[in-house]
Amino acid sequence: MAVTWGHRLALGLITILLAPVAEEVLFRGILYPGLSSQVFPRLALWGTAILFAAIHLQSGDFYTAAALALMLAWLYDRVDNLVAPITAHALLRS
């Protein structure tokens, strides 16, 4: 629990900056492309979206998180770069 303003600021920066980077590197940088090359791409897409939503259950709606994951994967496929989904994730999270 963040008690002081310094702790709150640190927690906010971690939430807005570090978490989206780490999650996008894991989900769109490692899991999604790795699974896409090993199994059907649609299975990789839906599987990583469901896993992404499952780890975000405590912060809201499963379906909203799954929809966000699908959008971020589409964005990653579209630009073939992690910067776009990281930026979108950070902006949508704040």
pTM: 0.83
∠ CA 60-73-18, nearest 5°, is 60
The string of pLDDT tens digits covering residues 26-62 is: 999 999 999 999 999 999 999 999 999 999 888 778 9
Res 31: pLDDT: 96
> What are the extents of the domains in the chain?
19-93
| Tokens of residue 79, six digits | 């630009």
Q: Measured at the alpha carbon of residue 41, what is the angle toward residues 37 and 44, in degrees to the nearest 5?
A: 90
